[in-house]
Structure 1
Amino acid sequence: MAVDESAANESCVGPSSEGAGKASSCEGCPNQQACAAGAGRAVDPDLEVIAQRLAGVKRKLLVLSGKGGVGKSTMTAQLGFALAARGLRVGLLDVDICGPSLPQMLGLRGQSVHRAASGWSPVYVNHPDDAAAADVELGVMSVGFMTPSDDAALIWRGPRKNGLIRQFLTDVDWGELDYLLVDTPPGTSDEHISLVQLLGATLGPHDGAIVVSTPQEVALLDVRKELSFCAKTQLRVLGVVENMSGLAVPLRSLTLRDADGADATGPALALLAERCPELLELSAHVDVFPAARGGAEAMAASFGVPFLGRVPIEPALTRACEAGRRSLPGSPDVVRPIADRILASTEMEREAEEAAASMMDGSL
């Protein structure tokens, strides 16, 4: 008697849970009898394979968001660039099966995956013409490398998506990595449940989720559900990032129009340069998405999880992602402070544990 996870109730406690088949949320589920009999608690042979595959990965970060369009893939790609630029070995796993974005954002469109004797080989970023991304060790795996064309739609149900995620985890040869970042689809779907179940035994004290939101309530509403999902599945939240937190543009970069919509930029800037040149050093700031009830920072505080900071809407970053680059010359590195906080947090904890272990060894 097998468990069909695709038929599970919405509030499923998980077939491997001690309460599987017995909890009140199991009532009416077609899997109730199988779960109660312990079918879901059988040892999955792939778990040992996954543990062996990821044995050389020091830290695993899942980039999550309950809402689509908040910049989760942008954050994954730019965090990958930022960490790799520090000399760290970084891998990016794209499990947004039906909407893979990382090949575009990393300048890898048109690349394909090769299978070696040791498994699937990641595609590595190699942009010798981009000083910000030169000489980085950044490997990527995505279903976007496997489709016949960029426009091909993957119309897959949950079990097939889960099967590919399982294959990514069992077959990709990452080798030794300092960080593996996993870009996930929005929501709390089959893919998220499969990831947590398959990675569960490999997740250590320095691993967990980076949750991305935008400031407005329509996004926070879904992101709160994502944080609840993390709590229920015992997935540690390393921090929350508020993306698209306002738009700041230098006055010199603005396009100014008159009442009829005609471009008046040239004359207006010339007049400012003549009459009040110091104004040209200012920036215009707009709250595109007004923060609801304190925004992501207040939400993080209410859930008792760290707040990693805000990332503004940066036009240069948008152009960099379109071009598959880390950043453009002269543009601000708006993601770097977030990467610094993640790095500081995980490294400080690791050093504290190593110091504690050393003290214990010395006392024996």
Structure 2
Amino acid sequence: MSVKMSDVAKLANVAPATVSRVLSQPHLVSKETQEKVLKAIEELNYQPHIIARQFRKKETKTILVVVPDITHPFFSEVLKGIQHTAIKSGYRVILGDTENDIEREGEFVDLLFQKQADGMILLTARMDKDRIEQVSRQFPTVLACEYIDGLDISTVSIDNISGARKITEHLISLGHTKIAHITGPMNVILSRDRLKGYRQAMISHDLPVDSAFIQEGDFSLESGYHQMIRLLSLEQRPTSVFVFNDEMAIGAIKAAKDSGLKVPEDIAVVGFDNSKMSDIIEPHITTIEQPKYEIGKKAMELLLGLMSGKALEQKKFVLKDELIVRESCGSKSTVKNFIQLEGSAKKIN
């Protein structure tokens, strides 16, 4: 049988309201009365009703994190940064996995209106801009990884355009001119940004951007596989492929191998995010390192500031990314050999 506040009051010979004050506002109760109540609590092993206490304090000590796909390895590191920082400040984290469903994203946001969380970190931004703006005006809200142009909300991300341009230029520096790109879903701003960075690099080096060389994936390994097969079936196929993320890059490498090609000897493949798998698969994948843990940590620090009512001096944080060069992109000599082989093949045909 559970112990009630009235049981504590009876043992301590005080009113139930006094027990409540000792738990929530001890400074209003004499030291002698506090000791009596605390002794009774210890003897009875009384556990205060958390929900009731939260209602009185108008806080839950809980934050909501909305994730587009909890199975994606990228988000596990971001979530670690959020959770470690939250726990240090006495908060717990509840996760809302939208599975890339915009309607479900809105349903999780409704938890704020139901007073089930004190604030929210969005790791996805597929909802209507006006809806997010409305929520951010009423509740502490931080947007991490993704962003929305023109939205006045605290944001933590990297410069995806710059990162995509950097890795495409690395392929160009190795001698590649026929560079394809497997994008993410084009309704996601990160996909559009990385495509923009790819285009910028190609145009700045006077290289043609062939529409057939741009294939849209859906973030998954399977789509990386299928889109790579499409690229390899072209009459004039690319010599290298920049893939939106490492997971799709793994699929692309498998497609190349299944087609009898060697990576990077026959075709180079690069990814993005620097997931753990990128340094395990053979060949190890050249990629862009996102500071995943730091993104989560910074997002939670911003949210703590907003929940405390503190005015933030800076709202937009762009963290530094890094090009990680591994075996999958090959070297200048590899590209030179491939171009020579390609030219020989043309003469034979």
Using structure 2 for the length normalisation, give the TM-score.
0.31
| Max Rg structure | 2
Using structure 1 for the length normalisation, give the TM-score.
0.30
Structure having the larger proportion of residues in helix:
2
Q: Which has the higher contact order (CA 8 A, sep 6+)?
A: 1
